[in-house]
Structure 1
C-alpha cells in the first residue's frame, strides 16, 4: 500500500459489498491458500524456490504475520505485533508443515472472532496500518487479500515447476 493513496471518497449510502460478504470472500481465499500449503511436499515447502524468490514457507509466514496483527488492528485500532523489530522480517516457519497449517487455522479463527467487532463505519475510517501504511480500513483488508493472492500465485508457479497440479484457483470452498 502506498501512503499516497487517494482516500477521499464521496459519502454514500450505497453498499457494494456487505461486511459479511467481504469476510466470506477473504475466508474463501484463505481456504484456497490452505489447500496450497497442504499440496506442497514437505521438503519443497521449506526449500524450493525459483529465481531467488522466497520459499513457500517464507511466503506463508508473511501472510500469517500480516493477517493476525492486521485483523486485530482493523477491529481494535491496536496495530502492535507486526514490524516491531523495525526490520520488517517475517517469522520463521514452524519446523513441520502441519504446524504451519495449525497456525493458519488459528489465525482463521481469530479473523472470525475479531470480524464482528468491526463497526460498519470503521470500514471507511483512514488509519495507519501497522504504523506504516495510511489507507481506509477497507483498503487495508483488500491489501491483505491481494497480498495473499500474489504470494499464492508464486506457489502455483512453484507447484507447476515441481510437476504438481495445484488446486483450482477458483475453488474457494
Structure 2
C-alpha cells in the first residue's frame, strides 16, 4: 500500500491507534509495571515505547531530523493515568508533525536510525506495523495475566469458526 495522501493515512492511522488505546481499558492499574521476565519490557514500557518512538523517532525523521529516541523508562511517566495520558500527548504532538507532510514529501527519502534512507511513505507504513507488533505484545501480556480482552474486530477466533461454513 503506497501512501499518497497524508490526510487519508492519518485517518487510517488514528483507527490503528484507537484499537491500541482500547486495550488500555483492560490493563489492571496495579500491573502497569508488570513484566513476565526480569529485563523485559513492562506493560508501561511498551506503552511509553510506542509513545516515544512515534514522537521522537518517526516524527523527527519525517522532518529530516535525527532520531531523539532515548528509551521508555518510568522517568517519562509512571502509573496508569500518567502513562496513558503520556501516550495520548505524544501521539497528538506526532499527528501535528505528520499533518505537515506534503504529497511531495511523502516521496522524499529520510534517514532513519542506522543510517539507512527510506521513502517517507514507506517509513510511515513501517510505523503502523510497529504499533501493531507492540499491540500484539500487550494482548499477550494481558493473556498471561488472565485478563479477558476484547476481540480486535468483533469476533474471537472460535466465533469465526462457529460462523463459517
Pick the TM interval, shorter chain: 0.7 to 0.9
* From 6, 15, 27, the counterpart of 1:40: 27
CA distance in 2, matches of 1:107, 1:23: 15
Where do 5+ consecutive residues of structure 2 fail to align?
155-165
- 1:164 matched residue in structure 2: 147
CA contact (8 A) 1:27 1:108 kept: no
CA contact (8 A) 1:80 1:130 kept: yes
> Following superposition of structure 1 onto structure 2, how do residues 20-169 of structure 1 map, counting pairs within 5 Å?
20-49=7-36, 53-69=40-56, 70-74=58-62, 76-83=63-70, 90-93=71-74, 94-130=77-113, 132-169=115-152
CA contact (8 A) 2:67 2:112 kept: no
CA contact (8 A) 1:46 1:56 kept: yes
CA distance in 2, matches of 1:132, 1:38: 38
Count of aligned residue pairs for this structure pair = 150
Relative contact order, CA 8 A, sep 6+: which one is greater?
A: 1
User: Deviation of residue 25 (structure 1)?
Assistant: 1.6
- 1:6 matched residue in structure 2: none
- Report runs of 4+ in structure 1 exceeding 3 Å deviation: 50-53, 130-133
